[in-house]
C-alpha cells in the first residue's frame, strides 16, 4: 500500500512569515539593547583615594551638576586605599556639539570644493583650444557649482551657529564677528569646542573632589561612534539575512 505524502500540498513559502516577524522584532529591539559606556559614549574617571565617601551623594551630585541622567560608581578597596571608577554618560550638549561639528566640517569641505571647482571651470573656459563639447560641459558644471554654493554656505553657517549654541553653555557668549571666512570660522569653532570640553572636565573634577579626597586620577573621553557603527552594521546584517532568507524560500 502506498502511503500518501503528507508534505505534498504544503505551501512552504508561507514559512517566510516566521523569519520576517523575527527580523522585524530584531530591527525594533536592537537599538534598545542596554549598552555600556564604550557604546554609549561618555567619560571614564579612575581615582585613587584614601578617604571614605558617600556613593549615592556623589552620584546625585554628578547627575545634577553635569546635566546627565546616569552616572555609575564602582569602588575597589585595598589596604593601600580605594580605586574608584566613575562612568558618566555623555553630556547631551557635548554630544550635540560634536555632531554639529561633523556636519559643519562636511559642509565646509563641500564649500571649499565648490569654490575650487568654480575657479577651475572659469580658468578652463578662458582657454581657446576647448572643443565645443568640452566648453559646454565646463559651463554646465560651473553653473551647477555656482547654484549649489550659496545653499552650501548657508548650511555651513547654520551648523556653525548650532555648534556655538551648543558650547556657549560651558564657555559663555562667543563672538563670531571676526570669523569672516571659512578658515577663521573653522578655527573659532575648534577653539570653542576644545574650551567647552576642557571646562566640562574641570567641572567633573570639581564635583568629585568636593565629595572625596582625590589622589592620582585619570580621565578618558569615550566617543559614541562605536555605538553608531555597531547598531548600523548589525541592522544591515539583519536586513541582508532577511533578503537571503526570502531568496531561499521563494
pLDDT (tens digit per residue) in 48-84: 998 888 999 999 999 999 988 889 999 988 877 889 9
Residues 8 and 51 in one domain: no
* Total domains present in the chain: 2
For residue 6, name the pLDDT band (cuts at 50, 70, 90): very low
- Confidence (pTM): 0.72
Q: Give yes or no for a contact between 88 and 62, defined as CB atoms under 8 angstroms apart.
A: yes
**Residues 8 and 62 grouped into a single domain:** no
- Averaged pLDDT, 4-18: 57
Statement to judge: residues 135 and 248 lie in one domain: no
Quick one: 198 and 238 in the same domain?
A: no
Least-confidence region, from 9-18, 90-99, 177-186, 210-219: 9-18
Dist CA 107 CA 105 (whole Å): 5
Query: Quick one: 82 and 7 in the same domain?
Result: no
**Contacts (Cβ under 8 Å, ≥6 apart) of 194:** none
For 71, residues 6+ apart whose C-beta sits below 8 A from its C-beta are 59, 62, 63, 86, 87, 88, 89
Same domain membership, residue 34 and residue 47 = no
Nearest to 47 by CA among 213, 244, 171: 213
Grid cell listed for 20: 520576517
Same domain for 178 and 159: yes
- The C-alpha cell of 33 is what? 539593547
Q: Are residues 98 and 194 in the same domain?
A: yes
Q: Is the domain of 30 the same as that of 95?
A: no
Domain that holds residue 238: 1-40+226-250
Range in 120-129, 132-141, 172-181, 226-235 with the lowest mean pLDDT: 226-235
Q: Are residues 97 and 112 in the same domain?
A: yes
14 with 114, same domain: the answer is: no
Residues 204, 244 within the same domain: no
Amino acid at each position: 500500500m502506498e502511503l500518501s505524502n503528507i508534505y505534498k500540498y504544503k505551501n512552504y513559502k508561507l514559512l517566510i512569515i516566521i523569519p520576517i516577524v523575527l527580523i522585524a522584532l530584531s530591527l525594533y529591539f536592537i537599538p534598545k539593547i542596554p549598552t555600556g559606556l564604550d557604546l554609549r559614549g561618555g567619560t571614564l574617571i579612575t581615582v585613587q583615594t584614601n578617604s571614605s565617601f558617600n556613593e549615592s551623594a556623589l552620584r546625585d551630585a554628578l547627575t545634577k551638576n553635569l546635566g546627565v541622567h546616569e552616572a555609575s560608581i564602582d569602588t575597589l578597596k585595598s589596604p593601600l586605599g580605594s580605586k574608584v571608577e566613575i562612568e558618566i554618560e555623555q553630556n547631551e550638549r557635548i554630544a550635540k556639539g560634536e555632531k554639529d561639528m561633523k556636519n559643519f566640517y562636511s559642509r565646509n569641505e563641500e564649500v571649499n570644493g565648490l569654490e575650487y571647482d568654480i575657479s577651475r571651470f572659469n580658468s578652463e573656459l578662458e582657454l581657446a583650444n576647448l572643443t565645443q563639447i568640452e566648453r559646454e560641459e565646463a559651463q554646465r558644471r560651473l553653473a551647477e557649482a555656482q547654484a549649489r554654493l550659496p545653499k552650501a554656505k548657508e548650511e555651513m553657517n547654520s551648523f556653525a551657529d548650532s555648534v556655538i549654541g551648543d558650547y556657549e553653555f560651558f564657555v559663555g557668549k562667543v563672538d563670531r564677528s571676526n570669523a569672516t571666512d571659512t578658515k577663521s570660522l573653522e578655527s573659532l569653532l575648534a577653539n570653542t569646542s576644545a574650551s567647552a570640553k576642557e571646562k566640562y572636565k574641570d567641572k567633573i573634577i570639581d564635583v568629585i573632589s568636593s565629595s572625596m579626597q582625590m589622589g592620582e586620577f585619570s580621565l578618558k573621553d569615550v566617543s559614541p561612534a562605536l555605538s553608531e557603527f555597531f547598531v548600523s552594521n548589525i541592522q544591515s546584517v539583519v536586513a541582508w539575512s532577511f533578503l537571503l532568507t526570502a531568496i531561499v524560500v521563494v
